Amino acid sequence: EHIMSKDVIIACDFSSKEEVMNFLDKFQEEKPFLKIGMELFYAEGPEIVREIKKRGHKIFLDLKLHDIPNTVKKSMAVLSRLDVDMCNLHAAGSSKMMEAAIEGLTKPDGTRNTMLIAVTQLTSTTEEVMQEDLLIEKPLPEVVMHYAANAKKAGLDGVVCSPLEAAIVHEKCGDEFMTVTPGIRFAGADAQDQKRITTPEDARTKGSDFIVVGRPITKAEDPQAAYERCIREFLGE
């Protein structure tokens, strides 16, 4: 019931309302799907979500909840009132926590308007870090797939993963299980601090459902043109 069509999500990694509104004013007709993360949410609070929603944007609220099941359930119940389109949590919080999150997001009448996706391992976590720092001894791809399977079983709608993993996630968890993939750069652009980068076109062929794009759009000379290019390349239009 939560299947949305494929889309480009712009990561609004700004630290104030003023910055984000200045950025959004650069779009004439379009109302891009936006990701609001911790930085902006902690700076401006839930009001910024309401305001951006009023402007007609879909919102992915990227707060990555991870706590005891009861706390996550209650927090998700509060977030459900914001009626965002997508939110997330850490799969590492356990299956019980993920089930509690779904309960919290579900309205008293049994409907749930917000897609819930899980972060398996952060893109900044290497296998070495995972094994030596977190004492998770299995290979990284195995851990990612196991967490994705747990998320599906708990009733979640998908995972955040690298475009390189999107195909395997779909293979293991089905085509309806969403893959939301960051780490996107245009062909020919500087990779900046990302090790493994993928172009919008690559992400499409690898089976990503949503790509999350930050600096290539937010730091572009012409953000609207960069966004349109992204849409063209990702949706193949």
Q: Which residues are catalytic?
A: 64
* Angle, CA 5 vertex, CA 226 and CA 113 arms, to 5°: 115
Write out the two tokens for 145: 């797939």
In 3D space, the residue among 162, 154, 157 whose CA is nearest the CA of residue 176 turns out to be: 157
- Radius of gyration from C-alpha coordinates of the chain: 17
Collapsing DSSP to helix, strand or coil, 18 comes out as helix
Question: Looking at the chain, which runs of residues are DSSP E strands?
Answer: 7-11, 33-37, 59-65, 86-90, 115-119, 158-160, 178-181, 210-213
Structure tokens at 211: 């790509």
CA distances from 31 to 65, 98, 150, 227 (A): 27, 31, 34, 11
Residues 211, 184: contact at Cβ < 8 Å? yes
Return the structure tokens found at 139. 């290979």
Return the DSSP state at 123.
T
CB 207 within 8 A of CB 193: no
Backbone torsion region of residue 236, taken as left when φ is above 0, otherwise alpha when ψ lies between -120 and 50, otherwise beta: left
